[in-house]
Amino acid sequence: MTPSPCKHICQLDRKDICVGCGRTRAEIGGWMAMNDAEKAMTCARATARLRGLAGAEDAHNATVRRAAR
The residues, any chain, with a CB within 8 Å of residue 13's CB and separated by 6 or more, are 19, 53
The pLDDT value recorded for residue 53 is: 75
pLDDT digits (tens, 9 = 90+) for 29-55: 999 999 999 999 999 999 999 998 776
pLDDT, one tens digit per residue, over 5-32 is 999 999 999 999 999 999 999 999 999 9
